[in-house]
Amino acid sequence: MTLHALAMESPLGNLQLVSEADYLIEVNWEGGHKVLSSTTRSQPAILTTAADELSQFFRGQRYEFSVPIKPKGTAFQLSVWRALQAIAWGVTCSYQDIAERLRKPTGSRAVGGAVGRNPIPVIIPCHRIVGASGALTGFSGGLQNKKILLGWEGHPL
C-alpha cells in the first residue's frame, strides 16, 4: 500500500495529511506523532480535498467534513471515533457521555485512551471532548489549539 502525504499550513501550525488509496488516514501535527519522511511525488485528489475542507473549516466556512476517511484502529477505537463524528459543531461531550452512548458506562477511561489515539484530529472532532466537570483535558495538538478550536465553535471557555 502506497501512502501519500501533503503538508499544509493552518492557524494551528503545520499539518501533514496522509492518504492511502482514496481515503484520508491521518492528520499529523508538526512535532506530534508520526510524520512521513518519504512518500510518492504524486498528490492524489483526496489530499487536495482534505486540505481544502480543512482550510474552509479554519476560515469558518465549513462545519462538517465530507472527505472520505479510513482511520486505523481496534473495533473499540473505531466505535469511539464514530461517536466523536456524531458530536455537532459547537457542542462538547465528556468521556463519560461517549462511554454511555457506547453502552459502556464504566468505560470512560477506555474512551479517553481511544480519543487520545485519534489519527484524524479536527476531522474526527476529538477537540470536542472535555472532562466531566467541563474542564479542558489533553489534546494531541496541545491545549492551546484545543482552546482555539472550541473558541471558533463558540464554546464558552
Q: Tell me the pLDDT tens digit for each residue of 103-137.
A: 999 999 999 999 999 999 999 999 999 988 888 88
DSSP per position, 67-126:
S-B-----HHHHHHHHHHHTSPTT--EEHHHHHHHTT-TT-HHHHHHHHHT-SSBTTB-G
CA distance 76 to 20: 22
Domain locations along the chain: 3-58, 75-152
Exposure on the CB side of residue 38, measured as CA atoms within 13 A? 0
Could you name the CATH architecture of 75-152?
Answer: Orthogonal Bundle (1.10)
Dihedral sign for Cα 82, 88, 90, 91, please.
Answer: negative
Q: Which residues contact 156 (CB under 8 A, 6 or more apart)?
A: none
Strands 129-130 and 93-94: parallel
Catalytic, out of 18, 47, 126, 149? 126
Q: Can 126 be counted among the known catalytic residues?
A: yes
Q: Tell me the pLDDT tens digit for each residue of 59-82.
A: 989 999 999 999 999 999 999 999
Answer whether residue 38 shows pLDDT above 50. no
pLDDT of residue 94: 95
| 150 residue type, one letter | L
